[in-house]
Amino acid sequence: MAQMKTVAPSARLDSELAKRLLTQMQLIRRFEEKAAEMYAMGKIGGFLHLYIGQEAVAVGATAACRPDDYAVSSYREHGHCLAKGSDPRRIMAELFGRMDGLSKGKGGSMHLFDKGVNFLGGHGIVGAHLPLAAGVGFAIKYQGGDQVVLCYFGDGAVPEGEFHESLNLCALWKLPVVYICENNRYAMGTAIHRALAQTEIWRFAETYGIKGEAVDGMDVLAIRDCVGRAVERARRDKVPTLIEARTYRFRGHSMRDPAGAIYRTKEEVEREKQRDPIVLFSERCLKDGALTEADLKLIEKAVADQVDEAVAFAEASPEPPPEELFTDVYKD
């Protein structure tokens, strides 16, 4: 096991890769800033959990995978779904509760699902999707495939039975699942040291005899490398890995807890924002000469246009008619 590996600063950064990673992180950031605005205007209802601050995890991890690999996530999943290549217009329409949304507007923010890109949700119950990931891993192995499953979850799932049962089964049955804990140090208002006897989450891997690694969750290249090693093991040897990505959410738990000042100080939030993954990566790209200031501007503009287009698409999409209440209830 190893801790907190980061990419050697001397490694040369390819311009195409830099552009792709930065564009995806910016898309997630702008998409969610716009979603927050739409929520404040009453255009989006229900729950809305923003991923702002954590973008490097979804983007770095997805960059280590093939398009036919699977991903499954919690309710803080807009970023994972976008990184997987889902259409931002259909995600926005889902948040708006409209017919052209990924789940015909019936799932909302917490229940994005896109079979077309092998994104398997969007799950509102903490920890519930960890055994599902094991099941997908089992199905892949049973059918003789070589895909891998990425399962994203928060630190709040670690004290739950599902986490331990899933790791045990995946280790025992040798299943190709990469468990990625996005440790943002809080489960709603509960700090991890108040919920976990072992706060170095990657160490739980040892209990189940599998590889565990902690990684800087604000460093998109470090994540890509770390998840890359886990994906390679999973594909080749059909073994699971536990990764702890140390990250931070810059916003409240959800739009209903926008301030979040009761359980963490303003100073702490401001300090963590100094390690904004998008700023860190932009600086790295400029320093390496992989991208220019003009490139950064072009990326920002393209992403802003794409997000505006997503909102226009969502606004134009109809509400689902009442009959839709009775469809998609049972599988044919």
What residue ranges bind ligand TPP (CB under 6 A)? 76, 124-126, 154-157, 184, 186-188, 253
Helix (H, G, I), strand (E, B) or coil at 209: coil
**Interface with Mg ion (CB under 5 A):** 154-155, 184, 187
Which residue lies nearest ligand TPP, judged by its C-beta? Answer: 154
Q: Which CB atom, from 46 or from 124, has the smaller least distance to ligand TPP? A: 124
Least spacing, CB of residue 85 vs ligand TPP, in Å: 22
Q: Which CB atom, from 184 or from 282, has the smaller least distance to ligand TPP? A: 184
Greatest extent of the chain over all pairs of C-alpha atoms, in Å: 59
Least spacing, CB of residue 21 vs ligand TPP, in Å: 22
Q: Which CB atom, from 254 or from 282, has the smaller least distance to ligand TPP? A: 254
Interaction partner, residue 125 (ligand TPP, Mg ion, none; CB < 5-8 Å by kind):
ligand TPP
Q: Which CB atom, from 60 or from 154, has the smaller least distance to Mg ion? A: 154
Going by C-beta distance under 8 Å and a sequence separation of 6 or more, which residues neighbour residue 9? none
Interaction partner, residue 76 (Mg ion, ligand TPP, none; CB < 5-8 Å by kind):
ligand TPP
Q: Which CB atom, from 24 or from 184, has the smaller least distance to Mg ion? A: 184
Rounded Cα gap, residues 11 and 112, in angstroms: 36
Helix (H, G, I), strand (E, B) or coil at 216: strand
Which residue lies nearest Mg ion, judged by its C-beta? Answer: 154
Q: What are the DSSP calls for 44-103, one per residue?
A: S-S-----TT-HHHHHHHHTTS-TTSEEE--SS-HHHHHHTT--HHHHHHHHTT-TTSTT
